[in-house]
Amino acid sequence: MAPSMPPFLEPRNGLGGNLPRLLLIMRKLLGPQGCPWDQQQTLSSLRRYVLEEACEVIDAIDENDPDALREELGDLLLQIAFQSELSRNKGDFDIDRVIDGICDKLVRRHPHIFSDTKVKNAEQVHQNWERIKATEKQRMSILDGIPTSLPALARAQRLGEKSARVGFDWPHLEGCREKVNEELSELDDALAAHDRESAAEELGDLLFALANLARHIGVDAEMALRETNEKFVRRFQQVEQRVRVDHGGFESGPIDIDTLERYWQQAKQKEPQ
């Protein structure tokens, strides 16, 4: 029989009614008679879990799985509560200040809703948001504020978006496409010279140009690569299955590349067009 919960830890209904319950549970876990593992954690030690939970939220969205999304959002909310409680214990801030901060920010950055600012479309809303944000942050560069911890491909696209807003961009798609060709040619030159350091630099330049090409055609480069990764996983797992059936698995010995390519093409043909 499960132990009964104290009344103040029981589930509650209503708008955000269970948030106090989550905080009380966290304070119990971090308290003198709490969980040794939780008590050992720091803001830094929890970074990996914040990233992992955010990625699992994205996976649940991509899989269109409401039950998984509900669970993963809860796990991400746990990390927010955990970080907030550790910060409260240090005397820095608490969850109330976190929530107040985002509420105030939403009001400030939506003057067309909460004030008398007039806008004609979503683009003007976005421009107002960026203008207000720049004023609030007092940043020296328009590129400030793009997290360095973003996946590199996503950050490349964001850098291009930001610089394009002040006119630093190719005026037409053709110019961006030519830049891709230029960077690919320079990578070929570095490879021909067997210059690994230059090849690494040119490969980075090529990836940056491709991220900007994605921006010009309205494609999220990070999501495009994620989808390609998943496509590779699906097809390769079908190849593995054929190898198990026909050859007893990869562990039974090497399989010639022609056979593997044939299995790959067969897996590819099974993909919906």
Nearest CA among 7, 4, 36, 47 for reference residue 24: 7
Left (φ > 0), alpha (ψ -120 to 50) or beta: where does 91 sit? left
132-177 confidence digits (pLDDT tens): 887 877 777 888 888 888 899 999 999 999 999 889 999 999 999 9
* Predicted pLDDT at 3: 53
Specify the range with the lowest mean pLDDT, choosing from 3-7, 36-40, 68-72, 79-83.
3-7
Nearest CA among 44, 25, 178 for reference residue 95: 25
* Predicted pLDDT at 237: 96
Is the dihedral angle over the CA atoms 161, 164, 170, 171 positive or is it negative?
positive
Average pLDDT, the chain: 91
- Tokens representing residue 60 in the block: 């649940």
Mean pLDDT confidence for 226-254: 93
- Tokens representing residue 223 in the block: 């999501």
Specify the range with the lowest mean pLDDT, choosing from 127-141, 166-180, 241-255.
127-141
Widest CA span in the chain: 72
Mean pLDDT confidence for 201-208: 98
Mean pLDDT confidence for 210-215: 97
CA pair distance 193, 199, nearest whole angstrom: 9
Contact 207, 213 (CB under 8 A): no
CA pair distance 134, 244, nearest whole angstrom: 57
Confidence of residue 10 (pLDDT cuts 50, 70, 90): low
Mean pLDDT confidence for 64-69: 96
* Predicted pLDDT at 7: 57
CA pair distance 55, 161, nearest whole angstrom: 23
How far CA 52 is from CA of 1, 70, 73, 87, 140, in Å, comes to 33, 16, 12, 21, 32
Contact 84, 93 (CB under 8 A): yes
* Predicted pLDDT at 32: 93
Confidence of residue 12 (pLDDT cuts 50, 70, 90): low
* Predicted pLDDT at 141: 85
CA pair distance 80, 51, nearest whole angstrom: 12
Confidence of residue 244 (pLDDT cuts 50, 70, 90): very high
The H-or-E segment that residue 8 falls in is none
Mean pLDDT confidence for 63-71: 95
Mean pLDDT confidence for 82-96: 96
Does residue 228 register a pLDDT over 80?
A: yes
- Tokens representing residue 4 in the block: 């009964």
* Predicted pLDDT at 15: 57
CA pair distance 138, 147, nearest whole angstrom: 16
Between helix 196-216 and helix 152-164 the angle, nearest 10°, is 60
